[in-house]
Amino acid sequence: MYSDFEGRTEQEAIDKAIEELGIERSQFDVEIIENTKKGLFKKGSVKIRVYYGEDGTVEEPAPEEDDDYEDAPEGSSSKEAENDNERNIISFTETLIHKMGYDASVSISFRRGSKIGISIDSPDSSIIIGRKGKNLDAIQLVVNVYAGNLDPDIKVVVDSENYRMRHEEQIIRTAYKTAQIVKRTGRSKLLEPMNPFERRLVHTALNDVDGIDTKSEGEGLYKQVRIIPQK
């Protein structure tokens, strides 16, 4: 979901978004859609588009350890399916992988409210994960469409070989390393295109780093985070 805001500066527009939406800066991405320079007979203004939430709702601040890719959350950790929905989701995922031409077994990795994690164990896990996790993301999308037909409240996080946790750690390490380069050189740098969850990781990780600002740039789902030195 997104909303548009306007201010005399980008920061003023962001402040309006924070006030009206009641969320923190780390919980949304910003795209500048119009930048009108100040002229002799007109005031300058900046119009931004704020992207927030994944299902049309504003996300509440979450504990640092509580995220979609968390592998050791609170609640039941039994790897066996506990109800028909879980059994159906496991069966559907195994069938999907088999139809892709690969052997795999699927188990429950965590439960948190209506969110469950499933882990794919396969000798072909590198192919199932794909380059930068894109195959895993595609599988997760299909599984969530199926799960949504069983129960609209269910959200499934699909993982294999703890890829998501390792990938998350790599994103944060890269963000910190790039932030130090930006601070040292005084020049902004763009990170590689990332999905909304990955961008939130970067914004949150660098939120408390002195002398650094972040903003998202680009169109579509995969945008880039620009790390900017504060003036």
Return the pLDDT at 56.
37
Query: Is 95 in contact with 139 (CB distance < 8 Å)?
Result: no
Beta strand residue intervals within 45-177, DSSP E:
45-52, 105-112, 115-121, 155-159
Return the pLDDT at 218.
86
Residues 52 and 105 in one domain: no
* Region 136-162 average pLDDT: 93
Distance from C-alpha of 218 to C-alpha of 196, rounded to nearest angstrom: 12
pLDDT top residue among 41 and 52: 52
Handedness of CA 59, 62, 68, 74 (dihedral sign): negative
Return the pLDDT at 38.
58
Question: Residue 207 pLDDT more than 90?
Answer: no
Does any domain span residue 119? yes
Question: Strand pairing partners for 118?
Answer: 108, 158
Handedness of CA 18, 193, 137, 109 (dihedral sign): negative
Question: Residue 57 pLDDT more than 80?
Answer: no
Distance from C-alpha of 193 to C-alpha of 170, rounded to nearest angstrom: 14
pTM of the complete model beyond 0.85:
no
Query: Is 193 in contact with 132 (CB distance < 8 Å)?
Result: no
Supply the mean pLDDT for the chain.
Answer: 82
Question: Residue 72 pLDDT more than 60?
Answer: no
Residues 167 and 229 in one domain: yes
Element (H, E) at 181: helix 163-185
Does any domain span residue 106? yes
CATH number of the domain that 212 lies in? 3.30.1370.50
Question: Residue 161 pLDDT more than 80?
Answer: yes
pLDDT top residue among 220 and 67: 220
Does any domain span residue 188? yes
CATH number of the domain that 95 lies in? 3.30.300.20
Return the pLDDT at 59.
41
Three-class SS state of 83: coil
Question: Mind listing the pLDDT tens digit for each residue in 7-21?
Answer: 888 788 888 888 777
Residues 156 and 167 in one domain: no
Rounded to whole angstroms, what are the CA distances from 199 to 172, 191, 196?
Answer: 10, 10, 5
Does any domain span residue 74? no
pLDDT band at 87 (very low <50, low <70, confident <90, very high): very high
Residues 169 and 153 in one domain: no
Question: Residue 158 pLDDT more than 90?
Answer: yes
Question: Residue 78 pLDDT more than 70?
Answer: no
Question: Residue 129 pLDDT more than 70?
Answer: yes
Highest mean pLDDT of the ranges 80-84, 92-96, 109-113, 182-186: 92-96
Does any domain span residue 68? no
Does any domain span residue 189? yes
How many folded domains does the chain comprise?
Answer: 3
Question: Which of 10, 30, 61 represents a domain boundary (last residue)?
Answer: 61
- Note down the domain range covering 216: 163-231
